[in-house]
Homo-oligomer: A and B are copies of this chain.
Amino acid sequence: MNDMEKFTAEREALNKLVLDYGGLEIKRFFSLDSQVYREGSIPVKYKELMGLVASLVLRCDDCVKYHIGRAFDENVTDSEMEETMAIGLVVGGSITIPHLRRAIKAWDELKQKGNTNE
C-alpha cells in the first residue's frame, strides 16, 4: 500500500470507531459533512477544490489528502490543482508550505499510479 492507500484504510477504520462511540449529533454532523459537497448549483469538482483550499489554509493534512483523493476522482487536471494550491498558498502564507509539500506529494502519488487525469 502506498501512502494514500494507507491513509484511506486507516481513515475508514477510525470513522467506524467514531460512529460506534458517537451519538446522534456526531452522526448528524458526519451526514451534513457529506451533503455539502453534493452536486448542486456548483459542480462537485469545484466544491471539492473549495474543500481543498479550506483544508490547506487551515493546515489539516488529513483533510487535504482526502480532498486531493476526491479531486482526482473528479478528474481535476494538473493545472486546476496547481491554481487551487496557489490560492491556498497566497491566502494562508508560508506557514502552509509544509502542508503544500505533502499535498503535492499525495497528488503526485495518485498521478504516478498510471491513471493520470491529463
Contact = CB atoms under 8 A, between A and B. Distances in A.
A8 B93 CA distance: 21
Interface residues of A, number: 66
A71 to B, nearest CB: 12
Contacts of A107: 21
Interface string A56-92: 0111111100000000000001111111111111111
A35 interface: yes
B29 A84 contact: no
A26 to B, nearest CB: 5
A58 B91 contact: yes
A110 interface: no
A26 B86 contact: yes
B25 A98 contact: no
A18 B101 contact: yes
Interface of A: 11, 14-15, 17-18, 21-26, 28-30, 32-33, 35-37, 40-42, 46-47, 49-51, 53-55, 57-63, 77-98, 100-102, 104-105, 107-108
